[in-house]
Amino acid sequence: MDKEVISDLIDEKHQTLIKWLKDQDDDKWMQGPEGKWTTGQQALHLLQSIKPLNNALSLPKFILKYKFGTSNRDVREYETVVKRYQERLVDAQGKTFKGSQNMKIPNLNDKAFILNRLTIESKKLQYKTKKWKDKDLDNLILPHPLMGKMPVRELLMWTSYHVEHHTQSLKENY
């Protein structure tokens, strides 16, 4: 998938999510289905997942190469990344990972801040995606808590799907 297409997809998925969240009644921000995250926790989780990626993409490439290495395979297609993620979710059986365990429930006062930060982080990610060289997107890898090490291009594709996945969950269950 071309980096321009990935950037546009990240934008589209975040805009859809943020519009949906803004359109919801404020009382739903702190509610969720029994035993599931609240709407606010879902939004906070997405913010927590995009910020480390933006931070990593801001580092010099040689540091990423030194710390995580380079890819030993071709980049997978978007559909393959999505399918692998869905399979890994089933294998994880609902487990959450380090940063999202015991997540606080954001107050209604936090809603505007979280949505604003999500918008800003999304824009940063789009910009960084376009600025990176294709060879670096394909060769440098970063760790993902569920998927393992992935080429940066795949992680960017996953990020757009991750937002879509949570948006669908919100629409269906909230």
pLDDT score at 41? 95
Whole-angstrom Cα distance, residue 97 to residue 48? 12
Higher pLDDT, 117 or 36: 117
pLDDT band at 134 (very low <50, low <70, confident <90, very high): very high
Collect all residues with Cβ–Cβ distance below 8 Å to 116 and sequence separation of at least 6: none
pLDDT score at 98? 61
Burial class (CB in 10 A: 0-12, 13-18, 19+), 4: exposed
pLDDT score at 96? 64
pLDDT score at 94? 63
Q: Can you spell out the DSSP letters for 26-51? A: GGGTT--STTS--HHHHHHHHHHHHH
pLDDT score at 110? 96
Collect all residues with Cβ–Cβ distance below 8 Å to 15 and sequence separation of at least 6: none
Percent of the chain whose pLDDT exceeds 70: 95
Is the Cβ–Cβ distance between 158 and 152 less than 8 Å? Answer: no
pLDDT tens across 63-100, in order? 999 999 999 999 999 999 999 999 999 888 766 666 66
Is the Cβ–Cβ distance between 131 and 60 less than 8 Å? Answer: no
pLDDT tens across 156-171, in order? 999 999 999 999 999 9
Structural domains in the chain plus CATH codes: 3-22+38-173 (1.20.120)
pLDDT score at 95? 65
Mean pLDDT confidence for 34-54: 94
Tokens representing 42? 């879902």
Collect all residues with Cβ–Cβ distance below 8 Å to 152 and sequence separation of at least 6: 57, 132, 136, 137, 138, 140, 141, 142
Whole-angstrom Cα distance, residue 133 to residue 24? 39
pTM of the model: 0.94
